Every structure is written in structure tokens, then in C-alpha cells.
């Protein structure tokens, strides 16, 4: 009997254990199913990076105003002149998404892949946008310093059948690009410049010929030129009551050591063509210049003091 009671107790314990396990399993299944019923599925979509645009492109020789698309760009004699390129940019992602605007200015015949040089290809960029707040629009302006011997494209020049192009390329944070283009002319500049603003023949006796004075003439424009010279007046004394000396007493030559009678007289009434041509400068370190020589013969009487006038050198493109 003891054995049977013990066995019955064992069976009872096992039965309770099974029941407990089954109950736990049921609760667990219900719990898992309940969690599956309330699970939420979410998805996300990345923002699209739209391309920027550039528009309303204008070229000018003045900051913030003007438009030279009809009149053309004329360089400064012997130096630089700033060409300004301005316009508007737009980005659907906001103008703050635009990282920079690249500017390229070039003669049409060399194309926009040209290497930058002073003759026909210039470039710059700007990261500064004007009035870029919360808007998708902003403005920009960039300046390029154009050298005096930049190649002209106006009528009569070597490249008269071409144009100059100005390109503005807006680039955003995703490196998407958009290029806007406009065109204009570069005007011819025929100009020569003397190496000094004053020169002196020194002291010259009455009836005598002076020593030789030398000055250099340089081409400071963007065309091959012919030169000419005239005097603005006869030579006047700094002392009152003395006669003037005719400007024709000054003779000019391209030959060093020339005899006064072999030179050409300088007149006030008309220009004297100089037997010279000055080619356009091509590279920055090779200024094109020629020396000229001058002598004066003083009258034998009626003069005294220091005499002076001005010589005017002019250039004509060819």
C-alpha cells in the first residue's frame, strides 16, 4: 500500500508538472501572437537632389550695373580692366545647396576647354552668393581682370567672325552642374605709349644741333599698329619777349646716330607717319617696343631761355 501511495503521488506530481508546462506554453503562444498583431511597419524616402540652374547672365565693365552685350568690352591701355559677370542661380533644394559658381570667359574659336591665358581664355569662381536666405534663388557676381592685349573680335580685327563667350556654371553639394552662356565682343584698342613723359636735349648753342635724345615706343593695345607723331605747338620760351622755335626744327629717326638733316621734321599741322610697325603683344613678358631718336637745330638769333612743347604719338590699327 505504501508503494502504491507513493506511486500515485508521483503520478499526481507529474500531472501537475505537465499541466503547468502546458499552461506556460499557451501563455507564451498567446503573448507572441499578440505582439505580432500590433507590430507597425515604417518606410523612409531619401530627399531628391535636384539640379541647380543659372540664368539672366550679364557681362559689364562696372560692378553691379551696366550691360556691354551691345557695345562690347574695351580694354585699358597698357594695363588691366575688370570684366564683371553677374546673374541669378536657382536650386529647388534651396540656394544654400549651391556650393559655388564657376566663371569662364573665352574667345569662341578656342572653346571652353581652353587653358587660361591673357590672350583668349580667363577663368574664376565665386562661393559668395548675394541674398541667399531661405529662398531657392540667389544672385552672384564675379570679376575677371582682362589684360590690354586680349584678342579683339570686332569688325576689322583678325577674329571678326567670332565672339567672346561668358559661361557661369552653378555647382551644388551633390556636384550637379548647370551652365548658362552669353556672348559679347572685345573691341579693338590701337595705342602706343612713350617710355617717358618728358625728355631733354640739354643745353644747345644758337645755330647748333643738339645731342641725340632717345625714347621708346611700346604697343599698349591689342592690335598691330602703325605709328604717327605731331607736335601740339611750336616750342615756347619760359622767358617773355623771345621768339618761338618752330616744331619742325625737331627731327625724328629710327636710326641711332642719324644726321639732323636725314630725320623727318615734326609738324603741328599734320601727323608725320613713322616708318614703323608695332606688333601686338602675345605673352606677358615680351613687351613690344621700338627706340626712336630725336635732334633739334636751334635758330641763330632771337631766342633765349628754356623751350618746350608736347609731342603726341598716335597709333592706327592694321
Tens of pLDDT, residue by residue, the chain (318 residues): 333 333 233 333 333 333 333 334 333 333 333 334 444 444 444 568 999 999 999 999 999 999 999 999 999 999 999 999 999 999 999 999 999 999 999 999 999 999 999 999 999 999 889 988 888 999 999 999 999 999 999 999 999 999 999 999 999 999 999 999 999 999 999 999 999 999 999 999 999 999 999 999 999 999 999 999 999 999 999 999 999 999 999 999 999 999 999 999 999 999 999 988 999 999 887 778 899 999 999 999 999 999 999 999 999 999
In a domain, 201, yes or no: yes
Does residue 4 form part of some domain? yes
- Other C-beta atoms within 10 Å of 166: how many? 26
Of 165, 184, 203, the residue that ends a domain is 184
Query: Both 301 and 196 in a single domain?
Result: yes
Q: Is residue 123 part of a domain?
A: yes
Q: Do residue 204 and residue 171 come from a single domain?
A: no
Domain contains 208: yes
Answer whether residue 210 is part of any domain.
Answer: yes
Category of 156 on φ-ψ map: left (φ > 0), alpha (ψ -120 to 50) or beta:
left
| The last residue of a domain, from among 143, 164, 184 | 184
Which positions ≥6 away from 50 have C-beta within 8 Å? 91, 92, 93, 176
Range of the domain at 13: 1-42
Closest to 186 in 3D by CA, of 120, 116, 88:
120
Question: For residue 47, what pLDDT is reported?
Answer: 63
118 and 14 within one domain: no
Adjacent-strand bridge partners of 9: none
In this structure, the answer to whether residues 171 and 57 fall within a common structural domain is yes
Strand 250-253 to 289-296 pairing: antiparallel
Assigned C-alpha cell, 166: 561668358
For residues 163 and 105, what is the distance between their CA atoms, to the nearest angstrom? 11
Q: CA 15, 17, 21, 24: dihedral to nearest 10 degrees?
A: 110
Q: Last residue of a domain, which of 167, 184, 201?
A: 184
pLDDT at 205: 96
Angle at 261 between CA 259 and CA 264, to 5 degrees: 105
Is residue 107 domain-shared with residue 209, that is, in the same domain?
A: no
Question: How is the chain classified by DSSP, letter by letter?
Answer: -HHHHHHHHHHHHHHHHHHHHHHHHHHHHHHHHHHHHT-------PPP-PPPEEEEEEEESBTTB---TTT-B-PPTTSEEEEEEEEEEE-TT-GGGEEEEEEEEEETTT-TTPPPBTTTEEEEEE---BS-SSSSEEEEEEEEEEETTPPP-STTSTTTT--EEEEEEEEETT--EEEEEEEEPBPP---EEES-S--------TT-BPPPEEEEEEE-SSS-EEEEEEESS-BEESSTT---B-GGGEEEESSTT--GGGSEEP-SSSPEEEEEEEPPP-STT---EEEEEEEEB--SSS--S-EE--EEEEEEE-
Distance CA 209, CA 243 (A): 18
pLDDT of residue 65: 95
Establish if 48 belongs to a structural domain. Answer: no
Identify the pLDDT of residue 288: 80
Together in a domain, 252 and 308: yes
Tell me: do 197 and 174 sit in the same domain.
Answer: no
Within this chain, do residues 259 and 199 fall inside the same structural domain, yes or no? Answer: yes
Determine contact, residues 59/186, Cβ cutoff 8 Å.
no
Burial class of residue 247 in the structure, from the number of CB atoms within 10 Å of its CB (0-12 exposed, 13-18 middle, 19+ buried): buried
Residues 249 and 168 in one domain: no
Q: Which residue has the cell 500590433?
A: 38
185 DSSP β-pair partners: none
The residues that bridge with 142 in the sheet, in sequence order, are: 85
- 152: domain CATH number? 2.60.40.10
What's residue 27's pLDDT? 38
Same domain, 67 and 179: yes
Number of domains comprising the chain: 3
238 and 312 in a single domain? The answer is yes
Q: Give a yes or no: residue 145 inside a domain.
A: yes
Which CATH number does the domain housing residue 304 bear?
2.60.40
Q: Closest Cα to residue 210, out of 225, 222, 198, 200?
A: 200
Amino acid at each position: 500500500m505504501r508503494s502504491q501511495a507513493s506511486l500515485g503521488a508521483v503520478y499526481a506530481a507529474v500531472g501537475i508538472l505537465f499541466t503547468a508546462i502546458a499552461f506556460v506554453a499557451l501563455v507564451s503562444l498567446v503573448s507572441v501572437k499578440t505582439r505580432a498583431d500590433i507590430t507597425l511597419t515604417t518606410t523612409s524616402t531619401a530627399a531628391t537632389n535636384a539640379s541647380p540652374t543659372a540664368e539672366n547672365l550679364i557681362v559689364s565693365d562696372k560692378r553691379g550695373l551696366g550691360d556691354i552685350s551691345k557695345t562690347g568690352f574695351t580694354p585699358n591701355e597698357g594695363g588691366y580692366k575688370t570684366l564683371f559677370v553677374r546673374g541669378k542661380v536657382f536650386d529647388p533644394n534651396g540656394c544654400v545647396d549651391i556650393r559655388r559658381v564657376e566663371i569662364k570667359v573665352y574667345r569662341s574659336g578656342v572653346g571652353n576647354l581652353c587653358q587660361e591665358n591673357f590672350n583668349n581664355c580667363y577663368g574664376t569662381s565665386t562661393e559668395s552668393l548675394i541674398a541667399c536666405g531661405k529662398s531657392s534663388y540667389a544672385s552672384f557676381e564675379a570679376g575677371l581682370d582682362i589684360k590690354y592685349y586680349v584678342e579683339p573680335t570686332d569688325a576689322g580685327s583678325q577674329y571678326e567672325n567670332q565672339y567672346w563667350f561668358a559661361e557661369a556654371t552653378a555647382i551644388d553639394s551633390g556636384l550637379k552642374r548647370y551652365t548658362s552662356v552669353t556672348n559679347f565682343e572685345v573691341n579693338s584698342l590701337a595705342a602706343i605709349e612713350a617710355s617717358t613723359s618728358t625728355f631733354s636735349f640739354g643745353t644747345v648753342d644758337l645755330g647748333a644741333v643738339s645731342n641725340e635724345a632717345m625714347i621708346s615706343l611700346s604697343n599698349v593695345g591689342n592690335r598691330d599698329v602703325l605709328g604717327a607723331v605731331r607736335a601740339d605747338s611750336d616750342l615756347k620760351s619760359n622767358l617773355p619777349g623771345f621768339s618761338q622755335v618752330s616744331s619742325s626744327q625737331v627731327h625724328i629717326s629710327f636710326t641711332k646716330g642719324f644726321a639732323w638733316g636725314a630725320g623727318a621734321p615734326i609738324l603741328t599741322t599734320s601727323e608725320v607717319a613713322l616708318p614703323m610697325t608695332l606688333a601686338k603683344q602675345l605673352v606677358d613678358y615680351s613687351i613690344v617696343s621700338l627706340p626712336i631718336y630725336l635732334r633739334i637745330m636751334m635758330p641763330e638769333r632771337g631766342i633765349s631761355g628754356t623751350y618746350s612743347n608736347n609731342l603726341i604719338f598716335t597709333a592706327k590699327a592694321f
